[in-house]
Amino acid sequence: MKEKMPLMSTTPVPSPSAAIAADANREGPSATRDDGLGPEPDALQDANAVASAGAPVAEPDAGSTPKMRAREVSVSYGDKQALNKVSIDIHDDRVTAFIGPSGCGKSTFLRCLNRMNDTIPTARVTGRIELDGEDIHSSAMDVVQLRARVGMVFQKPNPFPKSIFENVAYGPRIHGLGSSKAELEQIVEKSLKRAGLWDEVKDRLNESGTALSGGQQQRLCIARAIAVDPEVILMDEPCSALDPIATAKIEELIHELRGRYAIAIVTHNMQQAARVSQRTAFFHLGELIEYGKTSEIFTNPRQQRTQDYITGRYG
Amino acid sequence: MSSPVQTLPGRTADARLRKRYAAERRFRLAGLFAVALSAAFLAFLLVTMAWKGLSGFTHFEAAVTIDFPRSDLILDPAALKGPDAQDTVAGADLQSVLMQSAGAAYGDDAAELFGSAAARSLGRQLIADPDLLNRRATIWLPVGSAIDIAAKQDSDPASERLVARLEAKDSLRRTVNMDFLTQSDATDPSAVGVWGALKGSFLTIVVTILLAFPIGVLAAVYLEEFATRNRWTDAIEVSINNLAAVPSIIFGLLGLAVFLNFMHLPRSAPLVGGLTLALMTMPVIVIAGRNAIKSVPPSIRDAALGVGASKMQVVFHHVLPLALPGILTGTIIGMARALGETAPLLMIGMRAFIAAPPTGITDPATVLPVQIFLWSDEVDRGFVEKTSAAIIVLLLFMLLMNGLAIYLRNRFERRW
């Protein structure tokens, strides 16, 4: 993906690092980059200056109340700034996709939304993130409760090395959702059905979750996230480890889950973003470059860099 | 698809290929040699041990006819049925009765035929059957150490002659020496046993496990999962790594200074031995535990955190169960080391001569390796095979523990 050559242009743009270096050239030759993975503060300032012309649109549709609202969220790992003043709203009834090249901060931003970055000791998050108008960093908001309300599906399928039943039942059990065995069974069945896995596993609920195929494991992880009845589901490149058929199943599942949960999905795959999402945010070097309706981003982007990315000139 | 090798001139490529295979063959031969050498050493150790030690599990018994009513023995058959039977028998002078009877049966030079093991055995038989006291009976009793050696291998001419005489009369037989497994230390090598030391080892290791395992695992969990990384935790980490490499005798001195001189705990007791060995084993468990916890994939932690598990739930529901096989392996290695440890226990007085098996962790006791050390120091020839036999018992004990470790590890091992 990264070394993809330009398809639509005769101007040679050899590699993402070269493109970025060109941008950073004004800072002098000392502004060298590692590989475009880690934005340097200098380059960020620079990129900011370019982006500020059409400052990121946080609210592409002022009509409905957003489920989650992020304002000027910045993240740094040690001295390294990974995310710079990102403001995005995530709505209830639609899928929001985050796209961008590797290291652009899209996963970092996603992990801010349920405070998974808290687990990284060097990570520092500033800015305000609200869930239903409540600040998720406030002392009134318990992080464990937050994660129950904002579930997460990870890049690599990561079922617990326990039975399929236990995988799904674990969340409800620790949150005291199913007091009896029958109730738990009900929750497990409902979750597996919603994740489209029930028919495949109903006869072997006691087998290990790790014995399933990759796609099934990922749907099991989705079922596990659903089981605690979250309001928002965050998906961090959920299909990157899956084959096309399993990917298609997950995408279909995302369609079905839309409306019931607010969904935010990070993806490397632009076609996937176009297929599953209604809103798309394009990140680059820790900046939110453009945020809008998916159809507009892909057909009529306002920013040059968005255009370059979606036409495959870098990324 | 053409590989670069094929594009090279044929001969050079062939020569290089041959050299590569030759190097590989040499390396495999060297490896095979190393394995064969270590196997040979192990076989040598086991064979010598078995050769010298297995005879320690058998002993010779001689038949002797004792006319109890006519002997000097003053024993009330009724007293032998009471609860004080042991004391009554111990108070009777069985040894001199045996000397008289043996002398009468096999000549004056046979007076020393029986040792304290025979007297003990006779006492047991009298308790089992007090009626013996009323008649003349022929009884098989274990012979003394000198005769036992003479019957098993070359010895001094006098003992050899006595053995020949006994054999001629069909009054000598070889039996399994149950006393060796059921009795404790003694001054007479024919009467010694490993039971006391085995029990001491067991009690000591139980104290060690009960202390070192929970404390070590909790320390590992805290350091790995909860502690913030700063200068203090770095210092603690370095100290723990150093402690694991400290010679065991130092821990013995520490145990002596702290547990005996300062805390005044009983000397020679499994309690103190266990405490000292726990100090020695803890760093090993902490290090093994931390490595096992570190090797649990972060995706499992993320998964549990993602459904809203608290830090502690993540650790106790997911991380610890997955790390358990590794922790157990480290623990068992530490325990095996503690089980075979001699030096620190010498310092806290577990080298004393203790003839009674301990009944609790505060009784004076010794442990198997120390017992082996003590016996190997004895001058009496009878202790040589006892030493080897005790080594076999220790090795079997170790084998049992390692087998348990492998079983537990396989039991808890899971795939992810």
* Pair of tokens at residue A256: 């079905």
SS3 assignment for B43-92: HHHHHHHHHHHHHHHEEEEEEEEEEHHHCCCCCCCCHHHCCCHHHHHHHC
Q: How many A-B residue pairs are in contact by the CB < 8 A criterion?
A: 71
Kindly report the nearest CA distance between residue B318 and chain A, in angstroms.
8
What are the strands, taking DSSP E only, across chain A?
Answer: 68-77, 80-90, 95-99, 123-131, 134-135, 150-153, 232-236, 262-266, 279-284, 287-293
Of B114 and A57, which is predicted with more confidence?
B114
Q: Does A284 touch chain B (CB under 8 A)?
A: no
Q: How far apart are CA A60 and CA A63, in angstroms?
A: 9
Mutate to test the interface with B, among A147, A153, A154 (most CBs of B within 10 A): A147
Contact B304 A161 (CB under 8 A): no
DSSP characters over A50-75: HHGGG---S-S--SSPPSEEEEEEEE
Region of residue B349 (phi > 0: left; psi between -120 and 50: alpha; otherwise: beta): left
Q: What number of other Cβ atoms are within 10 A of residue A81's Cβ? A: 19
Note the pLDDT of residue A63. 57
Please check whether residue A56 touches B, CB under 8 A: no
DSSP state of A5: P
Model pLDDT, residue A3: 41
Interchain pair A119, B305: CB under 8 A: yes
- Using a CB–CB cutoff of 8 Å, tell me whether B309 touches chain A: yes
Q: What is the pLDDT of residues B168-224, one digit of tens each?
A: 888 889 999 988 999 889 888 888 999 999 999 999 999 999 999 999 999 999 999
In the stretch 282-301 of chain B, residues with CB closer than 8 A to chain A read 297, 299-301
Confidence of residue A54 (pLDDT cuts 50, 70, 90): very low
* Interchain contact B229–A (C-beta under 8 A): yes
| The two structure tokens encoding residue B152 | 């098993």
Residue-wise pLDDT tens digits, B107-154? 888 888 888 888 888 888 888 888 888 888 888 999 988 888 888 888
Confidence (pLDDT) at A31: 37
pLDDT in tens, B299-358: 999 999 999 899 999 999 999 999 988 898 888 889 988 998 999 999 998 888 888 889
What is the average per-residue pLDDT within A216-245? 91
pLDDT at A152 (0 to 100): 93
Inspect the interface and report whether the beta carbons of A158 and B303 lie closer than 8 Å.
yes
If one compares A179 and A228, the residue with the highest pLDDT of the two is A228
Q: Looking at the DSSP assignment, which residues form a beta bridge with residue A87?
A: none
Closest residue of B to A149, CA-based? B308
Query: B228 touching A, CB under 8 A?
Result: yes
Q: In terms of CA atoms, which chain A residue is nearest residue B298? A: A158
Test the B interface: residue of A107, A174, A222 with most B CBs within 10 Å: A174
Candidate from A57-66, A123-132, B85-94, B268-277 with smallest mean pLDDT: A57-66
Rounded Cα gap, residues B108 and B74, in angstroms: 24
Q: CB distance from A178 to chain B under 8 Å?
A: no
For chain B positions 97-156, those within 8 Å of chain A (CB to CB) are none
> How confident is the prediction for chain B on average, in pLDDT?
88
Please determine, for residue A44, whether its predicted confidence score (pLDDT) is greater than 60: no
Q: Which CA distances in Å does B250 have to B60, B211, B268?
A: 44, 19, 17
Cα of A208 to nearest chain B Cα, Å: 9
Give dist(CA A57, CA A165) in Å, integer.
43
Asked if the model's pLDDT at residue A60 lies above 60, the reply is no
Sign of the dihedral defined by the CA atoms of residues B338, B344, B349, B353, in that order? positive
A119 to chain B, any CB pair closer than 8 A? The answer is yes
- Does the pLDDT of residue A48 top 90, yes or no? no
| Count of CB atoms situated within 10 Å of the CB of A86 | 26
pLDDT, position A191 = 93
Taking the C-alpha atoms of residue A87 and residue B14, their distance in angstroms, rounded to an integer, is: 64
* Segment B353-396, tens digit of pLDDT: 888 889 989 999 999 999 999 999 988 888 988 999 999 999 99
- In whole angstroms, give the CA distance from residue B50 to residue B391: 10
CA distance A44 to B298: 30
Which chain B residues are Cβ-neighbours of A175 within 8 angstroms?
308
In angstroms, the CA B229 to CA B32 distance is: 45
SS3 of residue B126 by DSSP: helix
Whole-model pTM over 0.90:
no
From the CA of A49, how many Å to the nearest CA of chain B?
A: 36
Enclosing H/E stretch for B176: strand B172-176
Dihedral angle, C-alpha A14, A18, A22, A23, nearest 10 °: 110
pLDDT at A42: 41
Compute the mean pLDDT over every residue in chain A, rounded to the nearest whole number. 80
**Residue A28 pLDDT:** 38
Alpha carbon B201 to its chain centroid, in Å, reads 7
Confidence of residue B7 (pLDDT cuts 50, 70, 90): low
pLDDT at residue B367 in the model? 93
Beta bridge partners of A99: A282
* pLDDT over threshold 60, residue A306: yes
Q: Is the pLDDT of residue A22 over 60?
A: no
**pLDDT on residue A5:** 42
Residue B32's pLDDT band, with cuts at 50, 70 and 90, is very high
Chain B interface mutation, best of A118, A143, A170, highest count of B Cβ atoms under 10 Å: A170
Considering only the beta carbons, identify the residue of A114, A156, A210 that sits closest to B415: A210
pLDDT of A52 strictly over 70: no
Q: Which of A146, A158, A228 sits opposite B302 (nearest CB)?
A: A158
pLDDT above 90: residue A62: no
- How many CB atoms are located within 10 Å of the residue B209 CB? 20
Instruction: Give yes or no for residue B71 having a pLDDT over 90.
Output: no
Best of B226, B228, B307 to substitute, by most chain A Cβ atoms within 10 angstroms, is B307
User: For residue A134, is pLDDT > 60?
Assistant: yes
Cα-based angle B386, B390, B391 (whole degrees, multiple of 5):
120
A172 to A192, A225, B204: CA distances (angstroms): 13, 10, 44
B interface mutation test: which of A119, A141, A218, A220 has the most B CBs within 10 A?
A: A119
CB atoms within 10 A of CB B86: 12
Q: Say if the Cβ atoms of B307 and A121 lie within 8 Å.
A: no
Q: Which residue of B has its CA nearest to A148?
A: B308
Residue among A92, A105, A26 nearest A65 (CA): A92
Identify the pLDDT of residue B209: 93
A121 vs B contacts (CB less than 8 Å): 228-229
